[in-house]
Structure 1
């Protein structure tokens, strides 16, 4: 029950994050490149915030760190809603969106550290898979909520509704969430000195995956779900509208990844960390290859993603494998600092993905979706190659990384 409760804060936060991602890309003024920069402010500041949040989780306590993040984040979201009403400049929107990202890192890192505290080696894979399910699934739910609000309200009122939802949730966590560990001594170490070397070898692929999520976050700026030769997307758009159809597509993809994370989290515990990771690595490469081929032959985004779905499911093995490994090897005293790597990689990847998406859309406006898919494949291939090189250098073996049988 306590493990399930530790997932609730990240559920609420990610619903808000998903809705924000859709609404900001729709409401922000400026060009595609400016929109990419605005979107990148959130994840880049989230990566920076994670370095502080992990430290605070250890020295001040998980709960205090989480509640502090919620209070400041709620205020920033309300100010951003006001900015959309009063003065919608890319600079102001980017600044406030960055503050929201910075404070989200406190929620994410503290919640993940709580979940790690409440699991053991024998069930850590499924515990981390559960966290990934909630993290990705609630982001997708938020994305769908944002698209629905935009369809109904059209303007800043949609973002104000999301901001009020987050603000009203804050007192719940302040009152009912329980601390999982006492605060550690203040004299500790920082992230790079506590991160297990074996985990570093696996991080390039994780970075690639989060970069692809960033490309996906930018995609609604240029995505036309109804395009393609199949006609299925056109019928769906005709019934639901473009914005809601995009939201459904995005939530479907993230829900698939989240469900896969829970499934493969159990496999991580029974089959081994590294074997499960390699299965996800192969699935990700195959998924992106099939996606690019499908778009190249003229299929619409909806049809292309439907074909890719089984391989996308395999990709979800990556997250719980890495989280379980890091949780196993992290020093308990500095577990918050160590688990901060999750937000660091997530933030950097999504930020860079947003920038790449904006650049691709600017250079190739007519074929922006095809360009984004090609960029995703290129990033993934490069990071997979780096992972293989690091693995050979460090001589990783399954016996050193696997969980209990």
Structure 2
């Protein structure tokens, strides 16, 4: 049973699925005001905008699984208002000569944050092609729509901090904003086969288990959030900052979109959640990642983070016996099973943890060697 609050906008409706909801009607006034301003821009003619949308009406309706219960005139008007609303926000946010303090949305930090997150919800999407078409028709300047989008979202979500160049490169292939985010998170293409063995378990060792085996943890510098590497005993993970309620909402929407609307072999979001849930299975696991700088969590405590991952993992499913981190999980498990790695980690933990401890061990070793030499010399003297 899906919790509708996790997929339902709280501030603004975009598209037909939550159109005319009573609790979102306050934003309709702002949409009309933005349309008036948009029509004052050079080369913007209302009839041209309406004609363009009307010509693409059937294609737009076909982008939604549900039958849209709106007549043609109401549907076209709704698309126009929502597209212009998004375009005006992108333009006003990104243009340096715009005075944000005079705008009741852009000048309100709380409202603009809420709108940004509403734009990611699966049931609050508009096809990007209609935004591109109206933007090109209006031709507000030389700046590209992908550039405006990257400027607006670059500080949206600290745990992801997605690369602007990556966002712009995926803009033309994305279906909508949520799909654009998903594409930016994907790991680089791999030539390895991710098909699982019949008895393979996707569960990775926990962070504490890896630590006891001597694994080191560090932040991975990568453009792709889902790109995780293990090499020479070091697990490199993406930087995760300010994980909280928005994180859960965002990943649940990504999960839902991936499960029901992506190709059958696409499962990167769910694979990432399954893998991360194996690593962080207890607050102590999260604490160790905080200590190593991988997690910078001011919003929740470590127990809240591990609880969030367990909740996300309940909805995660592998597809067609494939798992994107199959080789990584095998390498981590094999490393943990090695007796030598555990003995070495124990030695380092107990005898080489601090510089003074290291000096003491070396001094003891030297003393032992000198004692042995003295004993040998004594024996030789007797002979």
Give the TM-score range, shorter chain: under 0.3
Greater relative contact order structure (CA < 8 Å, 6+ sep):
1
Normalising by structure 2, what TM-score? Answer: 0.26
Normalising by structure 1, what TM-score? Answer: 0.25
Relative to total residues, which structure has the larger helix share, 1 or 2? 1
